[in-house]
Structure 1
């Protein structure tokens, strides 16, 4: 196995650690608890359980050595009966002589082998004769056999004489304490992370322009302070937006008043040579006022609702056709998305109108993304925009080179309004080269 260089280990570990606050907080709690429990368990088995087991095994081996030596001193049936009676009464050992037998060839050992090693070590120290033992056949007893000239001396001893049998209780309480500790930690961390998640959801909703009630901050003191600061900032931003919208609406109203008087005077005036040109200028002024107000307002107060993408694109296509372009619509059947209808209609109409103004053929398409999002494209066969000027095209009031300035109507807010609407829905608009040879505007919205 090839090891990573020391300099790459931090990056390797970072990629495999949880990225969420919930996961990292849980790891901070779980990892020390697990390390502590493993250390405590190891210390218990190494310093206590094995020591106690070794001492018990040594005591049992001493009793067995007494029985073997007592029988070796007088191998008569009468002495054997005395040894059996004393062993049963004083040591809880069952001693039996099996005449003519030999030790079994099969060796049976436990899975861990701790008891077997301790007992074998003790018996080897105490006995000079060959012996055999089995700690696995009987759950509550240990079978020990010692070779004698007359046969095999078999001793059945209670298991607790050779091993500390209550160790599992300690392990059980350790596991219960670990589960309780981790359960309390998980509940506490979940509550703290939930407060941060609510704050993130509120910030995301505000970024999409959705109106939400002021939520009550909860969680740790620092989280409540951050939530309160966010709500204060949100209120300040909303007041600024409302003031800007009110100012531009007032300016729009003030400009419409003299514009209306000019229209009325022009309608009542006798026909003259420049009348049509003046009407065109007033139409353009009114369109400019509408664009200024739409850019400032952005339909932020409009509620989102499910709309048919097919109907949306067909409506935008009709507007583009009135500009003289041939329009093709490609959309999946039954495609529905939750959007702010007027705002998104304005965005798509701006893109389609922009494409129709600079190309003869326009294609509008939409499809659902595997991630659950939505992708819409508006393409044309016009002159396009150089790649290094794509971001410049989104700047408010930006008027690009003459190849894209054939349409005199407008003030350079179409793409800016469209991107503002897309970002208000959590998505974005990017520009690229169309397969038709012109410009492609790609709208991506999250699911």
Structure 2
């Protein structure tokens, strides 16, 4: 039962707030209506119906003293003006066998009980046939004595007025509550949109905290957190850029000195070490720049993937054209990292583009040895270096897959590793449409 309620309950704060406010209002109005009808309206209606039933019983007794049409007409002339009760004799007729039920069953029950207590003869009544009268018939020896009683004499009409105003008040309170809650939920939605944009490396625009005190406080805390994160990223970039710049100068001098020295085997090894060190510095600096650079733009992902595959001279299977919003340079960087990583450790990979209604997937498949399932999460971490794993985009640097994952996350997607149909590893970049 709890699981069912959890599934039915609204997921948004707007829906839950509306439910919290509207549900008590509806329950309260139902309780008030129930108490009113049982404690007041039903009592008043019972008193009225007993009065009408008593009048019908008296008229029946007066008729039984002189069971003629003339006497019935005389009773009609006597009762119609002041008591709003019409009497007519239908000689030779019998009571109907069927009766239509009133929507308010309590009215039928009350009239039936009152007539049963007041009249000993068989009777029949209908509260639905006429809009302003109640049809009551009593079986007598000569036929059927038919009475028409004004509806206002049988039940209190103020009950419907009360229900009308009760429903009207509920609707008005609901509308006011919905409008108020809607205004309160707007700042929360704006804060969520700003946080989502910041997480994707986009500009949050002219976001300004407003709304309730708690929401303003959350918005201000978000802006302070954003400033701290940006300051941290700037410091990281400056630090790595400075380190790279400072180390490039002695590396350049060493490379120049080695190039002028006589060629020997140990000098060749030193040159290779210097080249690897320089490549490592470039990778660190590239990683420090982050994955959120560039401006998002509309991109035909099908043509984009085909272009990369043609440049790298690998096989590509594209389901069809699909338009998404992406940063082309960063997305190209992620795909090149995955392609080069697969090519280095497993030969020529294949690129497959698939799409669904909600997202697109770019698969990089290879036929290598793959990566054990328990190690796949580890290889996505920056600077991860596992024995016999394929984590490096550049020799000695464990940043290729980490950079690709960051770029996928900046685009609102993710990078996942799985078994490839080719027998090796499948690296998949999944992006929202």
TM-score by structure 2 length? 0.89
- CA apart distance, 1:178: 0.8
1:286 to 1:318, Cα distance in 2 relative to 1, 3 A: farther
In the alignment, which residue of structure 1 is the partner of 2:297?
305
CA distance in 2, matches of 1:398, 1:106: 90
- CA apart distance, 1:304: 1.2
CA distance in 2, matches of 1:336, 1:347: 18
2:136 to 121, 140, 144: 144
In the alignment, which residue of structure 1 is the partner of 2:113?
121
1:352 to 339, 345, 348: 339
CA distance in 2, matches of 1:370, 1:407: 32
Corresponding position: 1:430 with 2:423: no
Corresponding position: 1:104 with 2:95: yes
**SS of residue paired to 2:349:** strand
- Mean Cα displacement is larger for which, 342-351 or 329-338? 329-338
2:46 to 29, 54, 57: 54
- Mean Cα displacement is larger for which, 330-339 or 407-416? 407-416
Please tell me whether the aligned partners of residues 18 and 181 of structure 2 are also in contact (alpha carbons under 8 angstroms).
yes
Q: Between Structure 1 and Structure 2, how many residues are aligned?
A: 431
CA distance in 1, matches of 2:36, 2:126: 25
1:347 to 1:288, Cα distance in 2 relative to 1, 3 A: same
1:315 to 1:258, Cα distance in 2 relative to 1, 3 A: farther
CA distance in 2, matches of 1:406, 1:128: 102
In the alignment, which residue of structure 2 is the partner of 1:376?
362
Q: How does 1:362-441 map to 2 (within 5 A)?
A: 362-371=349-358, 373-402=359-388, 404=390, 409-441=395-427
In the alignment, which residue of structure 1 is the partner of 2:10?
18
1:286 to 1:82, Cα distance in 2 relative to 1, 3 A: same
Q: How does 1:37-436 map to 2 (within 5 A)?
A: 37-75=29-67, 82-98=74-90, 100-112=91-103, 113-261=105-253, 269=260, 272-273=263-264, 280-314=272-306, 316-317=308-309, 320=312, 327-371=314-358, 373-402=359-388, 404=390, 409-436=395-422
Please tell me whether the aligned partners of residues 291 and 406 of structure 2 are also in contact (alpha carbons under 8 angstroms).
no
Please tell me whether the aligned partners of residues 382 and 438 of structure 1 are also in contact (alpha carbons under 8 angstroms).
yes
1:204 to 1:119, Cα distance in 2 relative to 1, 3 A: same
In the alignment, which residue of structure 2 is the partner of 1:446?
432
1:76 to 1:335, Cα distance in 2 relative to 1, 3 A: closer
User: What CA deviation, in whole Å up to 9, does each residue of 1:189-245 have, x standing for no partner?
Assistant: 222223222212211111111122241212221111111111110111011101111
**SS of residue paired to 1:361:** coil
Please tell me whether the aligned partners of residues 395 and 416 of structure 1 are also in contact (alpha carbons under 8 angstroms).
yes
- CA apart distance, 1:365: 1.6
**SS of residue paired to 1:143:** strand
1:130 to 1:245, Cα distance in 2 relative to 1, 3 A: same
1:317 to 1:110, Cα distance in 2 relative to 1, 3 A: closer
CA distance in 1, matches of 2:393, 2:117: 106
CA distance in 2, matches of 1:233, 1:406: 32
Q: Is there any run of 5+ residues in structure 1 with no aligned partner, and where? A: 1-8, 322-326
- CA apart distance, 1:136: 2.4
CA distance in 2, matches of 1:407, 1:152: 103
User: What CA deviation, in whole Å up to 9, does each residue of 1:22-61 have, x standing for no partner?
Assistant: 3322221222122112212211221222211111111112
Please tell me whether the aligned partners of residues 60 and 162 of structure 1 are also in contact (alpha carbons under 8 angstroms).
yes
